[in-house]
């Protein structure tokens, strides 16, 4: 993953460098160096990044781009009434990926657009 893709992914998920670093398991300085093109992610970091990429791709395949932010901030019954962004920030992408495996229940009360299915 190149430096521009890393930064684009971080911004698309609306994550600070600090939060992004925590999710991937690296320092903020490491994220800054990746984004500047000074270094590249290690194989371990790449595995963590792959989960974030999978989440973003799943969201863009299910929702209209302008609906993602709305879905990410609304409490969801499948997440114990927590917002997906809150779950992402505290637990990482895996719980959201599991939720998205069950498309119909993932969007109950979410107001997300399923027009692209």
Task: Say whether 32 sits in a helix, a strand or coil.
Answer: helix
| Structural domain of 93 | 3-106
Look at the chain and report how many structural domains it folds into: 1
Does residue 111 belong to any structural domain of this protein? Answer: no
Which tens digits make up the pLDDT trace of 40-95? 999 999 999 999 999 999 998 888 878 888 899 999 998 999 999 999 989 999 99
CATH for 53: 1.10.260.40
Owner of token pair 């998920």: 13
Under 8 Å between Cβ of 49 and 24? yes
Does residue 112 belong to any structural domain of this protein? Answer: no
The sign of the torsion formed by the CA atoms of 72, 73, 77, 82 equals positive
Residue 33 has pLDDT above 90, yes or no: yes
Does residue 51 belong to any structural domain of this protein? Answer: yes
| Those residues with Cβ within 8 angstroms of residue 81's Cβ, 6 or more apart along the chain or in another chain | 75
Under 8 Å between Cβ of 106 and 100? yes
């Amino acid at each position: 993953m190149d430096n521009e893709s890393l930064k684009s992914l971080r911004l698309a998920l609306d994550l600070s460098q600090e939060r992004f670093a925590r999710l991937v398991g690296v320092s903020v300085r490491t994220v800054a160096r990746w984004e500047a093109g000074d270094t590249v992610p290690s194989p371990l970091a790449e595995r963590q990044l792959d989960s974030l990429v999978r989440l973003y791709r799943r969201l863009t395949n299910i929702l209209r781009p302008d609906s993602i932010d709305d879905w990410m901030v609304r409490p969801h019954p499948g997440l114990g009434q927590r917002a997906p962004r809150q779950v992402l920030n505290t637990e990482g992408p895996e719980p959201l990926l599991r939720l998205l495996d069950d498309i119909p229940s993932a969007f109950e009360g979410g107001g997300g657009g399923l027009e692209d299915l």
